[in-house]
Amino acid sequence: DNTRVGHLMSRIVNDLRDISELAHHGPEDVFIASLMLIGSFLYLITINVQLTLIAFVFVPFIGWYAIRMRHRMSEAFRLERERIAEVNADLENSLSGMRVAKSYTNEDYEMNRFDNANVNFREARVRAFKHMAEYTSGLDFLTNLLNVAVLGAGGLYMYYGIIDLADLTAYLMFISFFLQPIRRLTAFTQQYQQGMSGFRRFVELMEINPEIVESPQAVPLAEVKGHIQLNNVSFEYHERAPVLHDVNLDIEPGKTIALVGPSGGGKTTLCHLIPRFYDVTKGEILIDGKDIRDLELYSLRKNIGLVQQDVFLFTGSIKDNILYGNPTASDAEVIEAAKNADIHEYIMGLPEQYDTYVGERGVMLSGGQKQRISIARAFLKNPPVLILDEATSALDNVTEYIIQKSLDK
Ligand code: ADP
Ligand code: MG
């Protein structure tokens, strides 16, 4: 309820990519660089010990600089990641509400919102690049200083005849083999920053405990008769905002009951308590005499069909959406379910019939058609307990009557 879809998408896509990049290239880079560093050091020391020691004096400085900058860069990359998640979330929101935006002619408002998120993102990115620039140019400066020192000392040594021209030439050529792994290792630290900040954010996400947990002693719900009891059930989404207060209900197997009440009265909430999308704050809900908190979630939900008030259709064909109720059903069963939901004839009139694409969230269908497809989906599941949350609100009386008769059947 409290997390934005765009945020989750950003974490799953971007953060995981950074982690896999690190896992893929990191070990290889470290291995090759260390081998080159040790190998070139050993080789250089056979040519001239003093020059090599001069060169190595710089290594602690380079290391110190890299580590000092690491922290700042890591913070900057983390901020950048957070801001891009914000952009993604805003964009997701604006795109899915596009019709509302257009009908209220709020394109400028949406544009502004997008711009604001982008400005924030750019700010963070500029900062990240600034730190990166300081980091790479600082390192370049230090390694070039190392080069100059070796060149100067080598020239001096040759002048005094400590080293001959051939050795100095070989030395200067091989010093680049020595610098290459240093650069490689510093490039690795940057990849490490990105990968680890992605990893930290991903761990944060994975450490969130679901509020609904199955008890270790949970038993499966089998051979359901459908006796549902609510005993003194109270429920609140947030403290001090109670929705249900001391509700008692006894629904015998095979009975159909209707809940009538004002909008915002808690009807949908009650529907969501039975499949345990939320846990009751007080009291208990029993199915066939067993507290639903002692049942395996999978088996509980397997036995409950819920047609929700805000119908959700998946992107795909009509058939895919009905099949969602029971993916192993045959074509004949799908057609039977569609007939019962009084949508078969409409589907047969479409050019591609059951394979017709419904668009994202079913935008290509009318409200009533979407409702009937979601009812067909529930019919195909054919569960012992069926909950309809204003499932026929968008249907005309005749269609509603046909569906009620199918329900009775
Ligand atoms: P009904 O279906 O009877 O119209 P609901 O069960 O949807 O009513 O809502 C009952 C109350 O619970 C409303 O006051 C609503 O604001 C609140 N509510 C519904 N869903 C949530 C939620 N996910 N988080 C917080 N409050 C909610
Ligand atoms: Mg409702």
298-310 confidence digits (pLDDT tens): 888 889 988 888 8
DSSP character for 236? E
Q: Quick one: pLDDT at residue 33?
A: 86
- DSSP-assigned states of every residue in 289-349: TEEGGGB-HHHHHHTEEEE-SS----SSBHHHHHHTT-TT--HHHHHHHHHHTT-HHHHHT
Q: pTM for the whole thing? A: 0.70
Confidence of residue 7 (pLDDT cuts 50, 70, 90): confident
pLDDT exceeds cutoff 80 at 362: no
Question: Which pLDDT score, from 0 to 100, does residue 130 have?
Answer: 92
264 CA → ligand 1 middle, Å: 6
> Which helix or strand (DSSP H or E) is residue 25 part of?
helix 16-47
Confidence of residue 121 (pLDDT cuts 50, 70, 90): very high
Check residue 122 and give its pLDDT: 93
Nearest to 32 by CA among 143, 184, 173: 184
User: By C-alpha distance, which of 189, 193, 196 is closest to 63?
Assistant: 189
Ligand 1 atom nearest 390 alpha carbon: 2
User: What is the CA(268)–ligand 1 centre distance, in A?
Assistant: 7
Tokens, residue 195: 């990968």
In ligand 1, which atom is closest to the CA atom of 267?
3
Ligand 2 centroid to Cα of residue 184, in Å, is 59
155-162 contacts, C-beta under 8 A, 24 or more apart: 157/48, 157/50, 157/51, 162/50
Q: pLDDT per residue over 238-285, tens digit each?
A: 887 888 888 898 998 888 898 988 888 888 999 899 999 998 888 899
pLDDT, position 297: 87
Residues of the chain above pLDDT 90, percent: 5
Token digits for 171? Answer: 């030395």
pLDDT of residue 120: 92
Does residue 164 have a pLDDT over 90? no
Mean pLDDT across the chain: 85
**Distance in Å, CA 320 to ligand 2 centroid:** 26
Give exposure, 45-72, as e/b (b: 16+ Cβ within 10 Å): eebbeebbebbeebeeebeebbeebbeb
| Ion ligand 2: residue ranges with CB closer than 5 A | 267-268, 309
CB 128 within 8 A of CB 77: yes
Angle in degrees, CA 390, 396, 400, rounded to 5:
60
| Per-residue model confidence (pLDDT) at position 207 | 87
Higher-scoring residue by pLDDT: 259, 18: 259
Candidates 211, 243, 388: which one to mutate for ligand 1, based on the most atoms within 8 Å of Cβ? 243
Q: For residue 361, give the 3-state DSSP assignment.
A: helix
Q: Say which ligand is closest to the CA of 272.
A: 1
Does pLDDT of 140 surpass 90? Answer: no
- From the CA of 393, which ligand is nearest? 2
Cβ of residue 136 lying under 6 Å from some atom of ligand 1: no
Ligand 1 atom at shortest distance from the alpha carbon of 1: 23
Confidence of residue 6 (pLDDT cuts 50, 70, 90): confident
Instruction: Express each pLDDT in 315-330 by its tens digit.
Output: 888 888 898 988 888 8
234, 269, 279: which to mutate for ligand 1, most atoms within 8 A of CB? 269
